[in-house]
Amino acid sequence: MKENIGELFICATPIGNLEDITLRAIRILREVDLIAAEDTRRTRKLLTHFDIHTALMSYHQHNAVARIPELITRLKNGDDIAVVSDAGTPGISDPGLGLIKAAIEQGIPVVPVPGPSAVVTALVVAGFETDTFVFAGFVPRRGREKRQFIEKVAEEYRTTVLYETPHRLINTLKMCMTTMPDRPIAVCRELTKVHEEILRGTPHLLLEHFEKTPPRGEFVLVISEVSEKRGGAKSEVGDESQDPPIEEAVMELLAKGYDKKTAIKMVAEDRGIPKREVYGAAINIPAL
């Protein structure tokens, strides 16, 4: 057993381009006794590229509960450990934070090794205000939770950064179109990679684009701040108690040009209720 307790290094790694790693990160990854990696396959590629031969251990959301005590014991026994996420800075929307908190609780030194993070990378290319901004993390998958989340974002006046998956992007843009139609959004795709793309526009324009070109790869959405110039965009939808009757909500969407099937689906998803319930309530609308 070593004399001193070890250190936990929070080690940022590239979010795409392998050149985006710091000299210090390369040295630390070489020197530590163990690397706790969210995605060992991806990290192995990185290590091979830089000719690093440190031992790897998987540490991801499904084994974090079991792994944390194991890693803490090794740190207490004197091993230095680097934690890396599949990409970017560990601890932001990934399992890194659990280990960081446990180490702090146990009095183990936590050492930052800063570098790329998808949040900041997207924020600075979006071109919106950066003096103050909100990072809201992953957009919830669907239903009421998602609707409430998007409404909150629509009410936020600061630039807001979100993580989103390719298969849910279109639905999210549709919700942005209803709740914040005038807010410019930057969709940042595959940052630092071969197919890097930054598209800026209103939710409507972006939706048109992605309906023609299906979204692929990794995405960060940056929603612009509300500037006085734009007249202070506000959510059109209030909290549940202020929801218009179902019939009215469907009619609003029809007036915006949605077809009846989509309008019913959107209202059902928005309110977290079955489609047949919306259909039943909206049966008397002439267009139906």
- Which residue lies nearer to ligand SAM by CB, 122 or 263? 122
Among 80, 218, 225, 270, binds ligand SAM (CB under 6 A): 218
The conformation of residue 177, written as its DSSP 8-state character, comes to: H
Among 40, 43, 89, 224, binds ligand SAM (CB under 6 A): 89
3-state SS, residue 206: helix
Residue whose C-alpha is closest to residue 6's, from 33, 36, 24: 33
CA 187 to CA 197: how far, in whole Å? 8
Contact between 117 and ligand SAM by CB under 6 A: the answer reads: yes
Contact between 87 and ligand SAM by CB under 6 A: the answer reads: yes
- Which residue lies nearer to ligand SAM by CB, 25 or 87? 87
Among 25, 187, 220, 223, binds ligand SAM (CB under 6 A): 220
- Which residue lies nearer to ligand SAM by CB, 170 or 273? 170
- Which residue lies nearer to ligand SAM by CB, 67 or 268? 67
State how far the alpha carbon of 149 is from the alpha carbons of 126, 138, 186, 238, in Å: 21, 10, 18, 12
Residues 6+ apart with CB under 8 A from 19: none
State how far the alpha carbon of 10 is from the alpha carbons of 13, 94, 114, 157, in Å: 10, 12, 8, 32
What are the φ/ψ torsions at residue 163 (nearest 5 degrees)? Answer: -95, 140
Among 15, 28, 64, 282, binds ligand SAM (CB under 6 A): 15
**Residue 57 contacts residue 11 (beta carbons within 8 Å):** no
Among 5, 20, 88, 172, binds ligand SAM (CB under 6 A): 88
Q: What residues numbered 127-186 form the site for ligand SAM, per CB under 6 A? A: 163-164
Binding-residue total with ligand SAM (CB under 6 A)? 22
Q: Which residues contact ligand SAM by CB under 6 A?
A: 15-16, 85, 87-89, 92-94, 117-119, 163-164, 188, 190-193, 218-220
